[in-house]
Amino acid sequence: MIEFQVLQNGEKFYISWSSLCKWAKVKWYMPSPQELIFLKQKMAETRAIPLDDVQVLVDGSPTL
């Protein structure tokens, strides 16, 4: 399972890859590492938080 862990204002939020696919109205697929890095950067930029406050987790373990 792939999910994004976002730390903002001292709180952790989790966003799963499958919910992002549903939100974007695309069929679930296995993203490339480049796509995950791009999304990590965009989430940090959009929320105006440091890049290190967004982690990509694969099966619960930090990957990026």
Number of domains in the chain: 1
CA dihedral 42→44→11→2, nearest 10 degrees, is 40
Residue type, 57: L
Strands 54-58 and 61-62, sheet pairing? antiparallel
Residue 16's domain comprises: 2-62
- pLDDT tens-digit series, residues 1-43: 999 999 999 999 999 999 999 999 999 999 999 999 999 999 9
Tokens 């791009």, located at residue: 38
- pLDDT tens-digit series, residues 48-61: 999 999 999 999 99
pTM of the shown model: 0.85
